[in-house]
């Protein structure tokens, strides 16, 4: 009998041992990355206060809800579009060196909507990368051909037809927003969305030299009006054409402050995706030399046209994009902008037009008719945004476990934090070491298939649940 009990006890002990999580040491590089965090956040295109959304229930009360959510998510940076016809519907005059002030429509519907978004960013301390999208083929106000567009282009976006007129328009807009209206939250500017394929010029061809000439002209004029020091020029905005970033980094080195790429490449369904993400980002970081690289549009390869994706409400989309952030930081990337913050209408079209009638449905939050429900991506991204605030110093991490990756951030305002991912079964991470000093764990929050949960922790270790992204706060001195 005694023998049986002993065997049973051993069996139970064995079972317990099996259930004990593997222990993993995390170590972090003493030297921080060359560049601090530029910001994690989302695309926030300024359409909330425009007719297609207002008529569907977007109002002051809903605005308060949305802004509160954005603040609670810890969004550090947004990318925001602007179009030239919103404020210069007709050319002010034939002289690209002199502004005819009363030709500009600063009180148009899209501009008034833009101001509300910029005011919110200013009030919430969110940085804005303003992106001058393109010269639309047609004016949005009345569908007439747009004066700055390249004629004969079949797409809605075209390259500007004149270097100096484009630069005049860009700088007029930036002066109005930053100087006259005081939106100091705009600290970065991108000329043209995805020019590598969408800079449609004469014969629908992309002309890099024309792109470069406008970037150079914008830089020169910003210097002339004393605005250059208030903005970083964030160029390339490269989407899919592999040579474009490298070409930009070589040809625009004297004017660019930073570069960005867009990523709709990866999926949790792909074998070896973590290594592929690392290699992909490493290539872009190297091509940028000593200038910072960020990802200014982030999604998964499960996009379906520009307005939908097949994985919008899945755990995998959240897991993939938050890993992209952590692995990217380890490889020297400075930030990432998720596409985008919440569902909204970009235009009012027929529901079966292939773009949901203008309803963007790929975002961190759903639409007003769904109570701005926070999707899995929104829950996971909250950990990333809080864990990697603007300005934080970044220390890449290493673990001996193939399923675990981590990065440490240190900021004067948010202290020392670790962002970790565990792709496998539960593990216990220990020795959250930097410079030989252990930080004491004060809190750990995990995103899992069950949503956001507190992760079990003591002062020296944290349990990373099965398939989780975890944000760990430490009391180590920054
Ligand atoms: Ca003009
Ligand atoms: Ca003029």
Q: Tell me: the pLDDT tens digits for 220-278?
A: 999 999 999 999 999 999 997 879 999 999 999 999 999 999 999 999 999 999 999 99
Cα 108 to ligand 1 centre (Å): 17
Q: Kindly identify the ligand whose nearest atom is closest to the C-alpha of 166.
A: 1
Which phi and psi angles does 100 have, rounded to 5°?
-95, 100
pLDDT computed for residue 477 by the predictor: 61
Instruction: Report the alpha-carbon distance of residue 432 to residue 419 in Å, rounded.
Output: 11
Report yes or no: 150 and 135 within 8 Å, Cβ to Cβ.
Answer: yes
Would strands 427-434 and 437-438 be described as parallel, antiparallel, or unpaired? antiparallel
Cα 165 to ligand 1 centre (Å): 5
Report yes or no: 237 and 189 within 8 Å, Cβ to Cβ.
Answer: no
Q: How far is CA 40 from CA 119, 148, 238, 382, 388, in A?
A: 19, 33, 18, 10, 7
With H, G, I as helix, E, B as strand and everything else as coil, classify residue 208: helix
Q: How far is CA 144 from CA 85, 139, 155, in A?
A: 11, 5, 15
Q: Kindly identify the ligand whose nearest atom is closest to the C-alpha of 170.
A: 1
Report yes or no: 237 and 226 within 8 Å, Cβ to Cβ.
Answer: no
Which phi and psi angles does 401 have, rounded to 5°?
-100, 130
pLDDT computed for residue 437 by the predictor: 58
pLDDT computed for residue 10 by the predictor: 45
143-163 average pLDDT score: 97
User: pLDDT-derived band of residue 476, with 50, 70 and 90 as boundaries?
Assistant: confident
pLDDT computed for residue 240 by the predictor: 78
Q: Kindly identify the ligand whose nearest atom is closest to the C-alpha of 97.
A: 2
Q: Kindly identify the ligand whose nearest atom is closest to the C-alpha of 165.
A: 1
Give the residue with greater pLDDT, 400 vs 208: 208
Give the contacts of 20 (CB within 8 A, at least 6 positions apart): none
Rg (CA), the chain: 24
Cα 304 to ligand 2 centre (Å): 41
Report yes or no: 466 and 423 within 8 Å, Cβ to Cβ.
Answer: no
Closest by CA position to 383, among listed 448, 293, 301:
448
Cα 228 to ligand 1 centre (Å): 20
Record the tokens describing residue 426, joined without a space.
């539960």
* Least confident interval from 13-22, 104-113, 352-361, 398-407: 13-22
Instruction: Report the alpha-carbon distance of residue 304 to residue 362 in Å, rounded.
Output: 10
Cα 120 to ligand 1 centre (Å): 29
pLDDT computed for residue 6 by the predictor: 46
Which residues are paired to 416 by β-bridges? 410, 474
Cα 178 to ligand 2 centre (Å): 20
User: pLDDT-derived band of residue 380, with 50, 70 and 90 as boundaries?
Assistant: very high
Q: Kindly identify the ligand whose nearest atom is closest to the C-alpha of 85.
A: 1
Question: Residue 8 pLDDT more than 60?
Answer: no
Q: Kindly identify the ligand whose nearest atom is closest to the C-alpha of 147.
A: 1
| C-alpha 363, offset from chain centre | 11
Report yes or no: 418 and 406 within 8 Å, Cβ to Cβ.
Answer: yes
- 276-320 residue pLDDT tens: 999 999 999 999 999 999 999 999 999 999 999 999 999 999 999
Cα 164 to ligand 2 centre (Å): 9
- 329-366 residue pLDDT tens: 999 999 999 999 999 999 999 999 999 999 999 999 99
With H, G, I as helix, E, B as strand and everything else as coil, classify residue 95: coil
Centre a 10 Å sphere on the Cβ of residue 467 and count the other Cβ atoms it contains.
20
Would strands 427-434 and 461-464 be described as parallel, antiparallel, or unpaired? antiparallel
Q: Match domain 76-256 to its CATH number in 3.40.50.1370, 3.40.920.10, 3.40.50.80, 3.20.20.80.
A: 3.20.20.80
Report yes or no: 341 and 78 within 8 Å, Cβ to Cβ.
Answer: yes
Instruction: Report the alpha-carbon distance of residue 296 to residue 102 in Å, rounded.
Output: 34
Instruction: Report the alpha-carbon distance of residue 239 to residue 199 in Å, rounded.
Output: 12
Segment holding 294, helix H or strand E: strand 293-298
Closest by CA position to 434, among listed 7, 64, 32:
32
Cα 30 to ligand 2 centre (Å): 53
Cα 111 to ligand 2 centre (Å): 20
State if pTM tops 0.85. yes
pLDDT computed for residue 20 by the predictor: 84
Centre a 10 Å sphere on the Cβ of residue 102 and count the other Cβ atoms it contains.
7
- 55-80 residue pLDDT tens: 999 999 999 999 999 999 999 999 99
Which residues are paired to 219 by β-bridges? none
451-466 average pLDDT score: 95
| Mean per-residue pLDDT of the chain | 94
Q: Is the dihedral of CA 249, 251, 254, 255 positive or negative?
A: negative
Q: Kindly identify the ligand whose nearest atom is closest to the C-alpha of 96.
A: 2
Report yes or no: 199 and 127 within 8 Å, Cβ to Cβ.
Answer: no
């Amino acid at each position: 009998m005694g023998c049986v009990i002993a065997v049973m006890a051993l069996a139970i002990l064995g079972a317990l041992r099996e259930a004990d999580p593997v222990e993993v040491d995390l170590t972090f590089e003493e030297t921080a990355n060359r560049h601090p965090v530029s910001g994690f956040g989302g695309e926030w295109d300024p359409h909330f206060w425009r007719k297609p959304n207002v008529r569907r229930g977007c109002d002051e009360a809903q605005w308060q809800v949305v802004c509160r959510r954005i603040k609670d998510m810890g969004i550090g940076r947004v990318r925001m579009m602007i179009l030239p016809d919103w404020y210069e519907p007709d050319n002010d005059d034939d002289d690209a060196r002199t502004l005819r002030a009363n030709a500009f429509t600063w009180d148009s519907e899209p501009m008034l909507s833009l101001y509300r978004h910029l005011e919110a960013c200013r009030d919430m301390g969110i940085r804005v990368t303003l992106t001058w999208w393109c010269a639309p083929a047609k004016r949005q106000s009345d569908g007439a051909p747009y004066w700055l567009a390249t004629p004969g282009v079949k797409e809605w976006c075209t390259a500007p037809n004149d270097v100096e007129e484009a630069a005049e328009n860009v700088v007029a807009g930036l002066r109005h927003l930053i100087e006259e209206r005081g939106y100091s939250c705009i600290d970065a500017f991108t000329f043209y969305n995805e020019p590598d394929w969408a800079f449609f010029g004469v014969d629908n061809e992309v002309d890099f030299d024309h792109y470069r000439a406008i970037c150079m002209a914008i830089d020169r004029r910003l210097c002339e009006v004393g605005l250059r020091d208030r903005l970083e020029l964030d160029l390339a905005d490269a989407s899919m054409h592999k040579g474009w970033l490298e070409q930009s980094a070589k040809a625009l080195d004297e004017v660019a402050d930073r570069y960005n790429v867009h990523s709709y490449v990866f999926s949790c369904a792909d074998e070896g995706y973590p290594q592929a993400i690392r290699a992909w980002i490493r290539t872009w970081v190297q091509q940028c030399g000593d200038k910072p690289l960020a990802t200014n549009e982030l999604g998964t390869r499960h996009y379906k046209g520009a307005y939908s994706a097949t994985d919008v409400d899945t755990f995998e989309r959240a897991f993939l994009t938050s890993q992209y952030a952590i692995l990217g930081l380890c490889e020297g990337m400075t930030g990432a902008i998720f596409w985008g913050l919440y569902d909204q209408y970009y235009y009012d079209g027929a529901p079966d037009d292939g773009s949901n009638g203008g309803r963007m449905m790929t975002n961190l939050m759903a639409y007003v008719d769904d109570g701005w429900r926070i999707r899995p991506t929104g829950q996971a991204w909250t950990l990333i945004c809080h864990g990697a605030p603007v300005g934080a110093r970044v220390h890449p991490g290493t673990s001996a476990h193939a399923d675990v990756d981590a990065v440490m951030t240190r900021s004067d305002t948010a202290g020392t934090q670790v962002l970790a991912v565990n792709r496998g079964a539960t593990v216990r991470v220990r020795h959250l070491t930097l410079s030989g000093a252990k930080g004491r764990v004060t809190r750990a929050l995990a995103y899992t298939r069950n949503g956001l949960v507190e992760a079990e922790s003591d002062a020296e270790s944290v349990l990373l649940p099965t398939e989780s992204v975890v944000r760990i706060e430490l009391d180590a001195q920054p």
